[in-house]
Amino acid sequence: MTEKTAAAAAPTSDAAPRVPFTKGHGTGNDFVLLADPDGNVHLEAAQVAVLADRHRGIGGDGVIRAVPSRHVEEGRALLAAHPEAEWFMDYRNGDGSIAEMCGNGVRVFVHFLAEKGLVDLAPGESITIGTRAGVKTVSRLAHGYAIDMGPWSYLDPELAEEAASDAMVLTAGLADPRPALSVSMGNPHTVVPVASFEDLEGLDLTRAPEVDPAPAHGTNVEFVAAHEPLVREGVGRVRMRVHERGVGETQSCGTGACAVAVAMRAWSGEGGSDSWLVEVPGGVLGVDFVAHPDGTEHVVLAGPAELVFDGELTV
């Protein structure tokens, strides 16, 4: 962060400027959150990596800057069509790289805005925010938040009819290479089915799984195993683990849960469902497919968001 940034964010009479931060998480996917109401905070990748470092910094899977849309180029581009998208989620992975979207991050971001008094949002009310994957409408529930993630898509449009597989995952402790399906939720995902919960537990996600063909911009890789029966009382039930691009294995990935639901529904055909409960190591996420008035199908992601502690950075 620049000195100008720090001084603007939290001026003090002493030498070292202090920048307030908040730590939060959604199903164990954890973030460092910074409020930047004046658009003064300039985060370099190396600075993000230090903030996210669990030994030398605060620690987190990602860093989220809450900034008015008018202060960032990507936000200004959204405002013409969506003037209501006052706040923009500037999301960075723990290694400092920029990602288009973060499903858990959106919930935690909106909870942060609401709890810090930056927006008024009571249970039952909704807010539209800007992200690098477009605007998202987030509804506050009695417990947690539901995000309209918009339409999903296959990374390979030719798969629209077949929905079989378009990639192979070669490593992660798999006995054999496994076919996988590439799904976009604004950010890229590679979903790999495994046979059982035991197989899921046995995976080695200490390193990024090798995907062939290698995705041009990297990918998040989700491994998924089904409950037996897969669908109970109309709801599909699965368990997943994820290796996130730019982070490593995480306790949860919201966009990953959506991608898993897309793939499982496609693979199950008539035996699938439009409603899914996705178990992640850090909790449970809900994913629903809903018809949007514009004729497209949208994915709605629901889950908790918690703020854990506040602190001050000295810069």
Ligand X SMILES: N[C@@H](CCC[C@H](N)C(=O)O)C(=O)O
Contacting residue, 192, 253, 259, 287, with ligand X by CB under 6 A: 253
81 contacts: CB under 8 Å, gap ≥ 6 = none
What's the count of helices (H) and strands (E) in the chain, helices before strands? 6, 19
- Residue 190 makes contact with ligand X by CB under 6 A: no
Angle between helices 103-115 and 254-268 (to 10 degrees): 140
DSSP-derived secondary structure letter, 214: P
Kindly state the tokens that stand for 96.
Answer: 């400092």
CB of 170 vs ligand X, minimal distance in Å: 20
- Residue 247 makes contact with ligand X by CB under 6 A: yes
- Residue 287 makes contact with ligand X by CB under 6 A: no
The reply to whether 258 belongs to the active site is no
**Closer Cβ to ligand X, 99 or 263, answer by number:** 99
DSSP-derived secondary structure letter, 79: H
DSSP 3-state of 96: coil
**From start to end of the chain, where are the E strands?**
18-26, 29-35, 62-68, 87-93, 126-131, 134-140, 145-150, 153-154, 167-169, 178-184, 188-193, 211-212, 220-232, 235-244, 248-250, 275-280, 283-291, 297-303, 306-314
Stretch of residues binding ligand X (CB under 6 A), selected from 6-14, 98-106, 118-126, 288-296: 98-106
**Closer Cβ to ligand X, 220 or 273, answer by number:** 220
Site string for ligand X, 58-97 (x = CB under 6 A): -----------------------------------x----
- Residue 246 makes contact with ligand X by CB under 6 A: yes
- The one-letter amino acid code at 310 reads D
Contacting residue, 102, 224, 226, 238, with ligand X by CB under 6 A: 102
- Residue 181 makes contact with ligand X by CB under 6 A: no
- Residue 245 makes contact with ligand X by CB under 6 A: yes
DSSP-assigned states of every residue in 148-166: EEE--EESSGGGGTT-S-S
**Closer Cβ to ligand X, 121 or 221, answer by number:** 221
Contacting residue, 99, 138, 226, 305, with ligand X by CB under 6 A: 99
- Residue 110 makes contact with ligand X by CB under 6 A: no
Distance (Å, rounded) from C-alpha 72 to C-alpha 97?
17
Annotated binding site for substrate: 29, 93, 103-104, 187, 220, 244-245, 254-255
The reply to whether 102 belongs to the active site is yes
Stretch of residues binding ligand X (CB under 6 A), selected from 37-45, 137-145, 157-165, 246-254: 246-254
**Closer Cβ to ligand X, 6 or 287, answer by number:** 287
DSSP 3-state of 23: strand
Active site residue: 99, 102, 169, 247, which one?
102
The residue ranges that bind ligand X (CB under 6 A) are 29, 93, 99, 102-105, 187, 220, 244-247, 250, 253-256
Active site residues: 102, 253
